[in-house]
Chains A and B, each alone.
Chain A
Amino acid sequence: ETGVTQSPTHLIKTRGQQVTLRCSSQSGHNTVSWYQQALGQGPQFIFQYYREEENGRGNFPPRFSGLQFPNYSSELNVNALELDDSALYLCASSRLGQGREKLFFGSGTQLSVL
């Protein structure tokens, strides 16, 4: 049990819609990262938040955005959904200073875009 929880576990949307995914960090962690894991692929880094600000971003378009709240929980928002956005979205928390490698992952949200 890592302490990182994500909701919902599964979600179905249609192309063009918007979606919000949520993540609660492990206690004591101040940094949250989001990853996209397409079927049969490894996780791809979307972005990281620290102290409620974006602290690094991967190669994803601006329609992928995020928020981090004072209690260190986080949201991932995706606008104008495309079919290729169908994937498992993973949230990982860590404590800045321990390096991004000390990540604790949630079980993910499986997003299907039809």
Chain B
Amino acid sequence: GNSVTQMEGPVTLSEEAFLTINCTYTATGYPSLFWYVQYPGEGLQLLLKATKADDKGSNKGFEATYRKETTSFHLEKGSVQVSDSAVYFCALSSNNDMRFGAGTRLTVKP
């Protein structure tokens, strides 16, 4: 069945450091891929998405590229801020079936 595997956390970085959170997926068909972010005490918010191979999703300085050949959708940001501290979820949607990864907690220290 469909599944998402993402890098285990927690991840702790200093402000302005480079961020990578790895995500790989298994799916039948041609899924859409997403990154959601969950700030403390809040629900999940869509951060970015990509709907086909080689698409790049981007938002708020975060980027992820849909790599069909490696079945990956790694999240990157060139310079993280304290306000980026949150839990990040990779997700896929295929045939109306949405699956989430386990989440990666990011803490950014000043």
With an 8 Å Cβ cutoff, the count of chain B residues facing the other chain is 21
Chain B residues, Cβ within 8 Å of A42: 4, 89, 91, 99-103
Known: A99-B93, A101-B49. A43 touches B44 (CB 8 A): yes
Which of A41, A101, A102 lies in contact with B102, CB distance below 8 A?
A41
| B32, B46, B98, B99 interface centre (most CB from chain A within 10 Å) | B98
**Min CB distance, B92 to chain A, in Å?**
9
Q: Is the CB of A107 within 8 A of B41?
A: yes
Residues on the B chain within 8 Å of A92, using CB: 43-44
The reply to whether A41 and B43 contact each other, CB–CB distance below 8 Å, is no
State whether B93 touches A101 (Cβ < 8 A): yes
Does A34 count as interface, using CB distance less than 8 angstroms? no
| In the complex, chain A residues whose CB is within 8 Å of the CB of B98 | 45, 100-101, 103
Nearest CB on A from B63, distance (A): 18
Are B43's CB and A2's CB within 8 A? yes
Q: Once the chains are docked, how many angstroms separate the CA of A2 from the CA of B43?
A: 9
**Cβ contacts B83-110/A at 8 Å (1 or 0 each):** 0000001010100111111110000000
Give the residues in chain B near A61, CB-CB below 8 Å: none
B96 with A56: CB separation less than 8 A:
yes
What 7 new A-B contacts, CB under 8 Å, besides A44-B100, A92-B43, A99-B93?
A42-B99, A43-B100, A92-B44, A100-B98, A101-B91, A101-B98, A108-B43
Query: Which residues on B are within 8 Å of A, measured CB to CB?
Result: 4, 32, 34, 41-46, 49, 89, 91, 93, 96-103
